[in-house]
Structure 1
Amino acid sequence: MELRALRYFVTVADELHFGRAADRLHIAQPAVSRQIARLERELGERLFDRSPRRVRLTAAGHRVLAAAREALAAADRVRSAAAGPAGVMRIGTASGVTARLERGIDELREQSPAFDVVLVDLPPAARLNALRHGEIDVALARGVAAAPGVRVLPAWTEPLFAVVSARHPAAGREVVSVAELAGGKSLIHDPSVAAVLREAGVPVRPDRPAGSVQDTIVEVGSDPRAWTVLPAGQVAEIGSTRVRAIPLAPRTTITGSVVVPAGLPQPCAAAHRAAFGD
């Protein structure tokens, strides 16, 4: 019995849809169907009831699912053990997640203390691509709903803040709307933040590709007409006295996710989500 077949089975059981399972595994749907059929022949049991409208686990499927999850988790533990005490977890980071990273790493080390951590700072698209190609092991990202070849696990939400120059007319306000700032100089460079604002009914778009948060803060602080919008985590790490952060009205949030390889066993994925999520 191949671990690959068990992994395909667990993915179909999670999705209850062969097409979505194939997308998550980043393979063609017929390959998934063949592996499931082979597993059913090997076990001598039907694992799924299939109809044109839905897919359901059989009673045997439910029994096999628990055992399959345990087998995949055990295989993952074997791989971790083979890496020995010098095992490394490579984490693709986002800006403004220092406290989240520290807490998550501590929690994971309580479960498996013998690993080192390497933090990899990459732009969002490059971060997901590195995960897809096995160059990092897990990534934190904001504003990502789905991506091919990886599994996106929503794990936290953060309110968005307007950030303006200390000389901006709105600098003393307790709350402010994006519409009230629209006459100034927008420095929203992050496409994920722009997308959240558009979903909230505010027609903004990045004025150029995303740069570093630090550079954006310097730009905003240097121009009394300038403004941007940042998540709370990034706001918490602002060290400049030249800008002011103001809560948005109405309150608007962005979702942060733990992103893992598509084939990572469910127990491991859940542990990563719990460690870095809220």
Structure 2
Amino acid sequence: MELRALRYFVTVADELHFGRAAERLHIAQPAVSRQVARLERELGERLFDRSPRRVRLTAAGHRVLAAARDALAAADRVRGAAAGPAGAMRIGTAAGVAARLERGIDALRAQSPAFEVVLVDLPPADRLTALRQGEIDLALVRGVAASPGVRVLPAWTEALFAVVSARHPAAGREVVGVAELADGEVRVHDSAVLREAGVREPPRRPPGTVQDTIVEIGSDPRAWTVLPADQVAEIRSTRVRAIPLAPRTTITGSVVVPDALPHTCASATRAAFGD
């Protein structure tokens, strides 16, 4: 019996609506229905009475609900015990959020001083996968509106900048439009950032780190990319220029947490890392 099936069942029981449960879980409704149906087959009992107008727990559903809540709470206690007496917070992160991380960790420690911080540097998609698999406890991401099996909490907004070589024709401009850079070669660091800026990606090449991307752009007067403000603030190279996009374009940054995290904990975490 999978904890995921129990979690989906509990969410449907809370909402008494498969569609609303799917929205809360950030997954497609058929996936919720399949998991609940699988759990019913495994238990040999119908857990819900379904009709076009409403969903109700059966008598067996009421009995299973209490046990399912206990099982999920026990799983959370096991995860907490595995972290050790003082606890550990494993944060999936990447370049360009150092100042935000420091503020967020300080804010959380003000509420609960005794925990260890472990930073795990992963690409955006891998951060979400690691969170679903319990390998990290939260992730900071940009440009993600929803993702299956986790809760995406919008927390901050950043302006986007075009980053070009100091030898680029637009290097002296106060603002620049993406269309004006289209003849050059765009370097991919974060696909979500490029999509938010309206950039159609070139033929696939492996995304580089921010540092590698900056070096490449500084060495090529035709190369460019788009970066959010927090990453621009960390650029130390004198060989590139960061120019605000016109029209002004922003990207939303989010704290992503396990869907089972209690609402009060999730809200405190979002507040800690938000603007």
Task: Bin the TM-score by the shorter chain.
Answer: 0.7 to 0.9
Look up the SS of the partner of 2:118 in the other structure. strand
Letter in 2 for 1:215: D
1:184 and 1:190 mapped to 2: Cα distance? Answer: 18
Distance 1:169 1:86, change over 3 A: same
Answering whether residue 235 of structure 2 is matched by residue 238 of structure 1, we say yes
TM-score, normalising length from structure 1?
0.76
1:239 and 1:54 mapped to 2: Cα distance? Answer: 59
2:77 and 2:240 mapped to 1: Cα distance? Answer: 48
Letter in 1 for 2:92: G
Q: Deviations over 1:86-116 (max 9, x none)?
A: 3111000022011111111111111111100
How much does 1:29 deviate?
Answer: 2.8
- Calculate percent identity across the aligned residue pairs: 78
How much does 1:80 deviate?
Answer: 4.8
Distance 1:25 1:164, change over 3 A: closer
Aligned length: 253
Letter in 1 for 2:226: V
Letter in 1 for 2:146: A
Match of 1:211 in 2: 208
2:189 and 2:155 mapped to 1: Cα distance? Answer: 24
TM-score, normalising length from structure 2?
0.76
Letter in 2 for 1:253: T
Match of 1:47 in 2: none
Answering whether residue 25 of structure 2 is matched by residue 28 of structure 1, we say no
Look up the SS of the partner of 2:252 in the other structure. strand
Match of 1:131 in 2: 131
How much does 1:18 deviate?
Answer: 1.9
How much does 1:237 deviate?
Answer: 0.7
1:107 and 1:179 mapped to 2: Cα distance? Answer: 41
Q: Which runs of 5+ in 2 are unaligned?
A: 41-49, 56-68
Match of 1:190 in 2: 190
Answering whether residue 161 of structure 2 is matched by residue 157 of structure 1, we say no
1:252 and 1:82 mapped to 2: Cα distance? Answer: 43
Distance 1:236 1:53, change over 3 A: farther
Which segment drifts farther, 84-93 or 165-174?
84-93
Answering whether residue 251 of structure 2 is matched by residue 254 of structure 1, we say yes
Look up the SS of the partner of 1:28 in the other structure. helix
1:240 and 1:224 mapped to 2: Cα distance? Answer: 15
How much does 1:266 deviate?
Answer: 1.3
Distance 1:225 1:271, change over 3 A: same
Distance 1:195 1:82, change over 3 A: closer
Match of 1:220 in 2: 217
2:99 and 2:115 mapped to 1: Cα distance? Answer: 19
1:4 and 1:215 mapped to 2: Cα distance? Answer: 39
Q: Deviations over 1:26-60 (max 9, x none)?
A: 7633765989xxxxxxxxxxxxxx984688xxxxx
